[in-house]
Amino acid sequence: MSTEELATMKADKTVDARGTSCPGPLLAAKKAIGEIQKGQVMEVLSADEGTRRDIPKWCKKKGFEYLGTVEESGFFKIFLRK
C-alpha cells in the first residue's frame, strides 16, 4: 500500500501504545486484535523502533495482513488488516 493510501486510511481500531516500550506495543496489538472482525483495519501508534520491525513479522506469523507504516513526528502509525 502506498504512503498516500495509508495516510488517508481510516482504521476501524486505533491502539495508542506510545507510552510503552518494547514489548508493550506488541502486547497492546495482541490484545486489541481480538476486538476487531476479520477484514477490519487496525493502526498501532508506537514510538518504539523495535515495534515497527516486530509488527510486520508478527502479522506474517499470525496470518494478518501488514499494510504499511507511516512515520509521524516522533512515532509510527503501523497499519494491519485482520
Which of the residues are catalytic? Answer: 22
Q: What is the DSSP letter of 73?
A: T
| CA distances for 21 relative to 2, 31, 38, 67, 80, angstroms | 27, 16, 27, 22, 20
**Smallest distance, Å, CB 59 to another protein?**
11
Cβ neighbors of 31 (< 8 A, separation 6 or more) are none
Site residues (CB under 8 A) for another protein, limited to 55-74? 58, 61-62
Instruction: Tell me: does residue 44 bind another protein (CB under 8 A).
Output: no
Binding track, positions 4-43, relative to another protein; x by CB under 8 A: ---------------xxxxxx-xx-xxx------------
